[in-house]
Amino acid sequence: MPTPERNAVVVANPADKTVYYYMEGMAAPMGNFENQGLKPMAVMIVNRSVQETAAGIYTSSTQLPPAGNYNVSILLDNPSVYHCFSTQIAPNPELVKQSGQAVTVDYLLTNKEVPVGISVPIQIKLNHPDQERIKDSVKDLQVLIFRIPGQAQQRMIAKAQGNSIYQVEITPEETGVYQVFVQSPTLNFTFHDQPILTFRAVKGAGQ
């Protein structure tokens, strides 16, 4: 499948259980995407690239994720730009009525840049009308953490800390951008239903 910039392709390889990224003129792939052990039989690219709609104004449209606080990352190769800003997505009252989703999560990681090689506690606050029910009784709060574009994936069960706060600890071994997802079968939400936490692992002083 050609990429939007048209000088590269992504290739699904069922034998390797991997999706490869090839750039024009290169004899070897520039990178690859892990597929959680599944065999990719085909690949499709969803192009949400921003386009210049007025002088200096770039826009795009996409389906918004669940309500919550998000970090939006902007990455450009040329000119070299890396910038993050915060935004808040408000709940859609009609969707809330339809879904019956009662549980929401907040991430309590305040510093979005953490040093590599050091254990980082990630705390998740569960919000529910019946706080007594979930303050320390959820045993299947699963946390998925991976380094973009899907490498170094980890899955863990968060442990109760009291007051509806649950925690896992990770140690980023490489610099890069990481994302955190949560799900709980007993609370009836999946990785796609809750906000995503994004943070960067960077080299600390003296590393």
Sequence-distant (≥ 6) Cβ neighbours of residue 105 within 8 angstroms: 68, 124, 125, 126, 127, 182, 194, 195
- In angstroms, the CA 119 to CA 116 distance is 8
Q: Note the pTM of the prediction, 2 decimals.
A: 0.52
pLDDT at 131: 67
pLDDT at 190: 87
pLDDT at 63: 77
Residue pair 145/174 in contact by the 8 Å Cβ criterion: no
pLDDT tens-digit readout, 121-156? 999 999 877 666 677 888 899 999 988 877 668 899
Q: What are the start and end residues of each CATH 2.60.40.10 domain in the chain?
A: 101-202
Residue for token pair 């706060």: 165
pLDDT at 142: 94
pLDDT at 97: 52
pLDDT at 180: 94
One digit per residue, pLDDT tens: the chain, 207 residues?
999 877 899 999 999 889 999 999 888 998 888 777 788 999 998 888 888 899 989 898 887 776 778 888 888 877 888 889 898 888 766 655 544 557 889 999 888 899 999 999 999 999 877 666 677 888 899 999 988 877 668 899 999 998 889 999 999 888 989 999 999 888 878 888 888 999 999 987 665
Instruction: Select from 1.10.1750.10, 3.40.50.300, 2.60.40.10, 1.20.1630.10 the CATH code of 101-202.
Output: 2.60.40.10
